[in-house]
Structures are given as C-alpha cells and as structure tokens.
Amino acid sequence: MVKAIVGANWGDEGKGKITDMLGQEADIIVRFQGGSNAGHTIINKYGKFALHLLPSGVFYDHTTSIIGNGVALNIPYLFNEIKSIVDRGVPSPKILVSDRAQIMMPYHILFDQYEEERLGGKSFGSTKSGIAPFYSDKYAKIGFQVSELFDAEALREKVDRVCEMKNIILEHMYHKPAINPDELYNLLLDYKKMVEPYVCDVAAYLHEAIKNGKSILLEGQLGALKDPDFGIYPMVTSSSTLAAYGAIGAGIPAYEIKNVIAVAKAYSSAVGAGEFVSEIFGDEADELRRRGGDGGEYGATTGRPRRMGWFDAVATRYGCRMQGATEVALTVLDVLGYLKELPVCVGYEIDGVVTKDFPTTVKLAKAKPVYEVLPGWNQEIRGIKKYEDLPENCRKYIEFIEKEIEVPITLVSNGPGRDEIIKR
Ligand code: GDP
C-alpha cells in the first residue's frame, strides 16, 4: 500500500508532522524530489528537529528511510544530518540512498548564489541550495549519478569534461574562480566513502516491498503551487512536487499510489517571490506570522519571514486537484483562534470577471481576491481530541473549506505535536 503525503499550497503546510504521525504505522518512507532546500519541522520525544534532506521517518526504529532517485542528493549534508540526529540521542536510522539519485555538486550551490547575485532585484528568491543548477544539469545530462562514483576511471574523465564547461561560465559570465578538477575528483572520492553504506537499488527494493504488502509513504517537499508545470512558473522549484511524480522519483509503478493526502494549511503562507493573491500585509500579517506555525512563520532552512495570507480556496482546490488528493489534512488551525473574523478567498477577480479556476501566471498577476468572511471562534482549540468538541464556528470554517476545495478533510491538526490531531 503506497500513500503519498504532499503539499496542496506553496509548501510549509506541515507535511513533516503528518508524515511523522502516519510514519508510526509505515514500514518505509521515501523522499522522491527536491533537496535540502526546504525543511520539515518535527517535534517528538527526542526534541524539536528541522530536517532538510532526511525523510521524516528517521525517528522510528521500525521504518526504513529512503532517498529516492528523484532527490537532489547533497551527500555531506545527508551525512551531517544523520550525525546531528544520532548525536542528539536518536537511534541510528536505517537509511537507503538510490544508486540512481544524482549528486548535488558544490558548484551547483555556487552557481545558484552567483545567478541570484547577477539577477539582483529580479531574483527568484532561491534558497541558494543549488536546486535549479542541479536539475538543469540532470536534464542536460551532465549530472553525476551516485552509481558513477563507483567507476573511478569514467568518473575522472567526466569530471574533467564537466569542469571545462563550468569553468568557461564561471570565468566569463560570473567572473569567479575556476573549479580545480583534481580537487573536485578527490571530493567525489570522499563523497563515495560517505554514501557507500547506504547505496541501494531502491526501485528493486520497493518492488519487493510492494510485493510483500509493506506500507510505504512517499513524502513530498514544497507544494502543488511550486510545481514547475502546474505552479506559479517561473517562481517555482525545479522538480515536480506532485504526487504523480512520486512514482518516478521513488521508482514504483504509478498505479501503486492508492492514497494521496494533500496537506493544506488553515491560512496561507509562502516563501520567496511570486504571485500570492490572498496575501496580507502590515500589522495583520505580522500578527499571524508571529502566532503562526510553531514559534512563528519563518523558513525552516533560511529563517526568512514567510509571506502571510488568508486561506485561498481557489489555489487550494487547484492544488488538491493537481495532486489527485483523495483526502486532505488541514493543519495549524489552532493558530486562528485569536481572530474575530476569518476571510476566505473564494474567487479571483481578473479583468472584472470572477473565476474559481486557478489561472496561469500571466493572468494570476492581475487577480484580486474575492473574500467570504466567516466568524471566528475566539477560543484555544489545542488539546481538543474529538471533532464534535471543536467550537461550532471552527467546525463551520472547516466544513466551509471542505465544500470549497471539494475533497474530504479527514485530518485536522490543532497543534505541532505528533498527537495533536483530530481524525474525522
Ligand atoms: P512542511 O515543510 O510542510 O513539513 O512544513 P514546515 O515544517 O516547514 O512548517 C510547518 C510548521 O508548522 C512547523 O513549525 C510545524 O511544527 C508547525 N505545525 C504543523 N502542524 C501544526 C499545527 O497543527 N499547529 C501548529 N501551531 N503548528 C503546526
């Protein structure tokens, strides 16, 4: 049984918490795309952790955590992340890394920084983790697969060939120091040592696991609106954030994904540049940011303040549809208890016409939010375990959202902890 846990919005929806919770009953958790550019925050008996590359299952001794072929694998980062959790008392997790995963090279990270510098005010608001240069190289067929570390001769030849090309760009476009191919080659030999214990034919492993009826979670990063095809292009990430890509990025048949849990936040937040129709500003935004998430809405990787907004039913319905959501987990609802009124964006006005369909970026830039205002519940809802025990206006808010997004909300998260969840 394969389940995908993916974002319905712009990321930071609380997928980490939902994966951590569902991981209690899972045998295997797979990361299938993205890299160390986004973080999951997880709170459990060992403490509070911000994971960037490791799947959220690493805290369980019964789960195997997998870095799928679709991931941008930063090897020293992975190595240090494993060390950092083990140093804090978490038992050594069982980790497998796909032999077909590609390696984040130090120059990818540099190119990301140099390009943001070059673009100045027109930058994409990249986290500068090298993601865009990494995926560009993968599809330009000059990336390095983990498997290639194990053929020394071919590796050496390829390092020279790739450096030649990268150095021309470094010198002439960015006016930065060249890469030394000898140093890069030696670094890759170090990478090989770091990753060797974890390398595995993951597709074959998962094939067996599915045959044996194992429970598998695919853990997505970011959200539908950051997908390169269906998101707010070009202010998107460089790998598909959709559940469908989970099949490719893990190496399993598409038809095995039976269940897609789209995680949606009870209000909106986004990092980086890009259209954000229901965005709010000033004191209103500051207050929500300060109260939001667990200790404020600041990026788990970058610490950047997140942009805040009201719940956007247009974007979320679209996000759920593109994810193929079979159910929705609505998170951080507890944060909204201070509000007297809750605007929900139910339509976009574009050139005088109101639509409920999420448009392409060109039209999105002209969209103005159409709000329906719901009454608040003015109450702390943390600690509530049963749906019926939620204040009436809170239930009305959930049910209103459910009707708008057209997918059943089966999980309501009312606190950052693993057990702070209401099942419907
Ligand atoms: P992810 O990337 O989708 O896993 O999301 P993040 O971890 O970046 O952001 C979610 C933040 O909200 C984290 O700080 C979580 O601890 C926190 N969080 C998750 N669910 C809830 C919730 O129901 N209530 C509150 N208050 N915080 C939550």
pLDDT at 301: 67
pLDDT at 281 over 70: yes
Neighbour-count burial of 301, counting CB atoms closer than 10 A to its CB (0-12 exposed, 13-18 middle, 19+ buried): middle
pLDDT at 45: 85
For ligand 1, the distance from its centroid to the CA atom of residue 164, given in whole angstroms, is 44
The crossing angle, in degrees rounded to 10, of helices 152-169 and 106-119 is 10
**Segment 14-38 mean pLDDT:** 91
Among protein residues, the one whose CA lies closest to atom 20 of ligand 1: 416
Q: Under a CB-based contact definition with an 8 Å cutoff, are residues 414 and 420 in contact?
A: yes
For ligand 1, the distance from its centroid to the CA atom of residue 43, given in whole angstroms, is 9
pLDDT at 38 over 90: no
pLDDT at 156 over 70: yes
**Segment 390-419 mean pLDDT:** 97
* Residue bearing the bigger pLDDT, 84 or 214: 214
Of 5, 17, 306, the residue with max ligand 1 atoms within 8 A of its CB, to mutate for a pocket test, comes to: 17
pLDDT at 336: 97
pLDDT at 37: 73
For 211-226, the pLDDT digits (tens) are 999 999 999 999 999 9
For 319-339, the pLDDT digits (tens) are 999 999 999 999 999 999 999
For residues 277 and 275, what is the distance between their CA atoms, to the nearest angstrom?
A: 6
**Segment 41-48 mean pLDDT:** 82
pLDDT at 239 over 80: yes
Q: Is 414 in the pocket of ligand 1 (CB under 6 A)?
A: yes
pLDDT at 187 over 80: yes
For residues 269 and 309, what is the distance between their CA atoms, to the nearest angstrom?
A: 6
Of 294, 301, 330, 334, the residue with max ligand 1 atoms within 8 A of its CB, to mutate for a pocket test, comes to: 294
Active-site amino acid positions: 12, 40
pLDDT at 129: 87
| Confidence tier at 292 by pLDDT (50, 70, 90) | very high
Q: What share of the chain has pLDDT > 70, as a percent?
A: 99
| Confidence tier at 9 by pLDDT (50, 70, 90) | very high
Q: Under a CB-based contact definition with an 8 Å cutoff, are residues 57 and 5 in contact?
A: no
| Confidence tier at 94 by pLDDT (50, 70, 90) | very high
List, in order, residues 6 or more apart from 416 with CB less than 8 Å away: 14, 17, 41, 43, 293, 294
Of 47-61, 90-104, 202-216, minimum mean pLDDT range: 47-61
pLDDT at 127 over 70: yes
For ligand 1, the distance from its centroid to the CA atom of residue 51, given in whole angstroms, is 12
* Residue bearing the bigger pLDDT, 309 or 51: 309
pLDDT at 7 over 80: yes
Q: Average per-residue pLDDT in the chain?
A: 94
